[in-house]
Structure formats: structure tokens, C-alpha cells
């Protein structure tokens, strides 16, 4: 980065000095040097504000400022990875800085946020949650053999002492803004939270938050207002920030009447705040607009979806995600397909016409595709409930076209093959989501 700031604020510059590169004082030389050190990472984001200065730096720099008091405000940044980026957090979001006649200094130290740079997978039958690193994903791609076991980098297991709270048929995970991992814990009809500090290595941590919802949370996703959407077994739900603020029994907001779902299976928000869910048995895809979610009925009643999509192409929908260009991909468990829809087809209820259909039954083959996740390269990683494998499909494979009404078969890029710690995987989650992804991330 060469020590240059990523942007200059309204009162700052982009060359490490004053707007004209010289003295900032109208009376002559009255500036001194402030040394800003960004440690622990090649780049960061530190904003210096005060005494007529507003400047943002991307790397260590020495800047000329008037004598005075300043505030250094720091933000998390991304560190690029081969398949998944990592997030780097500063040691403090704000630091006071005093600049005297002899100058001043401030150091912001960055460290990798635990759990980032990994592909997380729920392992329902073994009651575990595992994570694969960039290195393991590279191993899978370099030797795409379904018989080669790729051992997870991290395994979150149950506590050795039963405290009454444990992983019981974990179906889905979602990460909040602070990096904590929330789990749809179907077997206990709860959503539980693991602290971000427990996600850096294998272990059997105890959840620090347990929220009873009286429903099997088959899929969860955070929305723009901090609420947690839940594709429940029978009912679509919304948990508010206040519901999630402490352990206890919550009263989730219904997004449909009781038994609205036959078998809720997956959910995601797009970057505009629209919410998608699928019902495996119905089979249907639902969409709640951001406007509908922002104006929920004041009587606490259900907020029905704006649009409902059904039809023959939905042969057991089991997952939903979005491509960079906004296309919606639905995975179908029964027909073992990826069904692509352009946004224009999902504006009005009815039977949408897919852009194309790709079969994932070819080598190495998926017997029961579930909830997928994209990596930074645009590869799509899909858990296979039947074999226990997680199979990656390249961006080029996903670009394959199919004739009108036809189905093209694509082959996998690599396999994170079933290990003893992985059985009946249901959801893949990239932490963090790709920088390009049009899905909402806290």
C-alpha cells in the first residue's frame, strides 16, 4: 500500500500532509509530526480527526498536524485469501492522541478475527460444526478425489460436561457483526451463540447465549436491522435484536401463520434487505420485500410474503443463494439440481421460468445437495447430506448453459470428503461472505 491513506476526509489530504503538501498553518511553521503505526497487518484503516484534521490512513505514515488533541478511529479490514478472506480487527476502535510540541504517536495493532478465513459446515448427525481453511480447500481442489479425506481445521464439539446446553442436530449457522457464531440448534428448539473468542481452534466451548424459540431453526440469516430470520420447521420467524440480547425464552415475530411451512429449509437476505426462504415439501420459494419487513403489522400478526413461487422446477428445494449479478440459485434435493432465476422472474407470484438448470449428479456427484456457499473466486461449495461430502463447483462450471427446458450436467472442482467428524452436513457458510457477494452480511 506504500503507506498512502485510502482516502482523505473532508478536512484531510491523501498525500500524508496538508492539502497543498506544505504547512497547514496560516501563520507559518506551526505543525508537528504525528506518527501513526499500523502493526500486525500490511494494511488497516485508521482515521485521525481533530484540530482541523480529518484523514484516513491505510498503512503506517507520518503526517503533519497542528498541536492538539486527536482521536484515532479504527475499523476492521479484509486480508485476501486464496478462497476466503480473513477479517483483521484493531486492538481498539478509538484511541485518544495528544500531540505536543515534540510531536505525537499512536499505534493500532491488528489481529485476525477468530473463525474468519474458513468455510463452516454444520454436521447434523455427529452434533458438530467444522471449518475448513484456505489450505484445506486448496488441498481439495488439487486432488479432487472423493476418497481422500480432508481433515477440518476446526471442530466445535459438545462440552465434555453436560451443562444442559449442547449441540443437538445443528442445522445452520450465521455470524453477527462482532463475529460471534449463532447456531440453529434444532434438537433443543433453540438458537445458541458461541463467542468469537472460541472460534479460533478446535474445542468444546459452552455457548454464551441460549435463546429458546419453540421451533426447529432449520436455517438462519441476519438482516439489515440486526434481526435474525429463521426458516422454522413449520413457521417463518423473525427474532429481534432485543430477543437476541440475552438468554431466555423469546417470542419470535411470525412471518406467516402457524404451520405456514410444510418443511422450512433455507433462508438468505439479499444486499437490499429482501428475504428469501424455501419450503422443501410444498415445494415453494418465498420472498419478503425489505419494505414489508420494515413495516410489520403493529398488532404483532404475521407479515405474509410479497411473492410466492412454485412449479415443477422445484423438486425438493433445499437451499438458496445469490450470484454476483443478482441471479437466485435454488438447490433441489430431490432432482439434484441448481436452478437459476434472473431477478426479473421473481417479481410476481406464480411459476417462474428458470434461466437454466444444472445437474450436480455427475462426478463426483451429489446425492442430496443442501445449503451452499460461494467463495471469493466464485466457486460454489455444496454440502451433500447423503454422502457427507462437501463438493465445490467452479465459476466456469456454473457458467455452463443448458438448452431451453434442458438440464446440463456439471462436474465438481474438488471434494472436502467425509471424515469421522462430518456426517449429514446441511449448511455451508463462508466467514466472511465474499466481498462481491450480493447477500447481506452484518
Same domain, 69 and 164: no
Q: Among 112, 136, 171, where does a domain finish? A: 112
Note the pLDDT of residue 10: 39
Low-confidence ranges of the chain (pLDDT < 70): 1-29, 145-147, 160-163, 418-421
Q: Is the peptide bond before 432 cis (omega within 30 degrees of 0)?
A: yes
- Digit-coded pLDDT (tens) for 22-34: 444 434 448 999 9
Same domain, 122 and 63: no
Q: Among 93, 112, 131, where does a domain finish? A: 112
Same domain, 192 and 51: no
Same domain, 134 and 46: no
Q: What is the rounded distance in angstroms from the CA atom of residue 137 to the CA atom of residue 144?
A: 10
Q: Which CATH number characterizes residue 154's domain? A: 2.120.10.30
Same domain, 233 and 127: yes
Same domain, 90 and 164: no
Same domain, 105 and 250: no
Note down the domain range covering 322.
118-431
Q: For residue 441, is it within any domain? A: no
Q: What is the rounded distance in angstroms from the CA atom of residue 159 to the CA atom of residue 194?
A: 12
Mean model confidence pLDDT for the chain: 89
Note the pLDDT of residue 11: 40
Same domain, 68 and 163: no
Note the pLDDT of residue 286: 97
Residue 102 has a CB neighbour count (10 Å cut-off) of: 8
- Digit-coded pLDDT (tens) for 320-363: 999 999 999 999 999 999 999 999 999 999 999 999 999 998 87
What is the rounded (10 degree) CA torsion for 315, 319, 323, 327?
Answer: 40
Question: Residue 134 half-sphere exposure, CB side, CA atoms within 13 Å?
Answer: 14
Note the pLDDT of residue 337: 95
Q: Cell numbers of 157, please?
A: 464439539
CA-based max dimension of the chain: 77
Domain count, the chain: 2
Q: For residue 442, is it within any domain? A: no
Q: For residue 324, is it within any domain? A: yes
Q: Among 112, 130, 146, where does a domain finish? A: 112
Same domain, 270 and 399: yes
Note the pLDDT of residue 118: 98
What is the pTM (predicted TM-score) of this model? 0.90
Q: What is the rounded distance in angstroms from the CA atom of residue 325 to the CA atom of residue 251?
A: 36
Q: Which CATH number characterizes residue 40's domain? A: 2.60.40
Q: For residue 221, is it within any domain? A: yes
Same domain, 171 and 58: no
Same domain, 168 and 67: no
Amino acid at each position: 500500500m506504500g503507506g498512502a491513506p485510502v482516502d482523505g476526509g473532508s478536512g484531510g489530504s491523501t498525500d500524508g500532509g496538508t492539502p497543498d503538501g506544505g504547512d497547514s498553518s496560516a501563520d507559518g511553521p506551526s505543525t508537528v509530526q504525528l506518527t501513526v503505526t499500523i502493526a500486525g497487518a500490511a494494511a488497516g484503516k485508521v482515521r485521525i480527526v481533530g484540530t482541523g484534521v480529518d484523514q484516513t490512513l491505510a498503512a503506517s505514515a507520518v503526517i503533519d498536524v497542528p498541536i492538539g488533541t486527536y482521536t484515532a478511529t479504527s475499523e476492521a479490514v479484509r486480508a485476501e485469501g486464496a478462497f476466503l478472506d480473513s477479517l483483521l480487527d484493531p486492538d481498539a476502535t478509538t484511541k485518544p492522541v495528544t500531540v505536543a510540541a515534540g510531536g505525537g504517536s499512536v499505534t493500532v495493532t491488528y489481529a485476525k478475527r477468530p473463525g474468519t478465513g474458513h468455510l463452516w459446515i454444520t454436521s447434523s448427525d455427529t452434533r458438530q460444526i467444522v471449518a475448513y481453511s484456505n489450505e484445506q480447500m486448496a488441498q481439495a481442489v488439487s486432488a479432487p478425489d472423493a476418497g481422500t479425506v480432508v481433515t477440518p481445521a476446526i471442530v466445535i464439539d459438545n462440552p465434555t460436561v453436560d451443562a444442559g446446553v449442547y449441540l443437538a442436530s445443528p442445522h445452520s449457522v450465521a455470524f453477527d457483526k462482532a463475529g460471534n457464531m449463532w447456531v440453529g440448534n434444532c434438537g433443543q428448539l433453540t438458537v445458541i451463540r458461541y463467542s468469537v473468542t472460541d472460534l479460533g481452534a478446535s474445542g468444546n466451548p459452552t455457548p454464551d447465549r441460549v435463546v429458546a424459540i419453540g421451533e426447529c431453526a432449520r436455517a438462519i440469516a441476519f438482516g439489515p436491522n440486526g434481526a435474525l430470520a429463521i426458516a422454522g420447521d413449520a413457521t417463518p420467524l423473525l427474532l429481534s435484536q432485543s430477543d437476541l440480547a440475552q438468554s431466555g425464552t423469546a417470542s419470535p415475530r411470525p412471518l406467516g401463520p402457524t404451520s405456514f411451512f410444510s418443511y422450512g429449509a433455507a433462508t438468505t437476505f439479499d444486499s437490499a434487505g429482501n428475504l428469501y426462504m424455501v419450503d422443501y415439501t410444498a415445494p415453494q420459494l418465498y420472498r419478503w420485500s425489505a419494505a414489508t419487513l420494515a413495516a410489520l403489522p403493529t398488532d404483532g400478526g404475521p407479515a405474509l410474503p410479497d411473492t410466492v413461487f412454485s412449479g415443477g422446477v422445484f423438486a425438493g428445494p433445499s437451499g438458496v443463494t445469490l450470484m454476483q449479478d443478482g441471479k437466485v440459485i435454488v438447490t433441489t434435493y430431490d432432482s439434484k439440481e441448481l436452478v437459476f432465476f434472473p431477478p426479473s422472474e421473481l417479481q410476481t407470484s406464480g411459476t417462474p421460468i428458470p434461466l437454466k438448470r444444472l445437474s450436480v449428479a455427475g462426478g463426483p456427484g451429489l446425492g442430496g445437495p443442501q445449503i451452499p456457499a460461494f467463495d471469493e473466486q466464485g466457486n460454489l461449495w455444496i454440502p451433500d447430506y447423503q454422502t457427507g461430502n462437501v463438493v465445490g463447483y467452479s465459476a466456469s462450471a456454473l457458467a455452463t448453459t443448458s438448452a431451453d427446458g434442458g438440464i446440463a450436467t456439471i462436474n465438481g472442482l474438488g471434494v472436502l470428503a467425509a471424515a469421522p467428524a462430518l456426517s449429514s452436513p446441511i449448511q455451508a457458510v463462508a466467514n466472511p461472505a465474499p466481498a462481491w457477494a450480493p447477500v447481506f452480511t452484518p
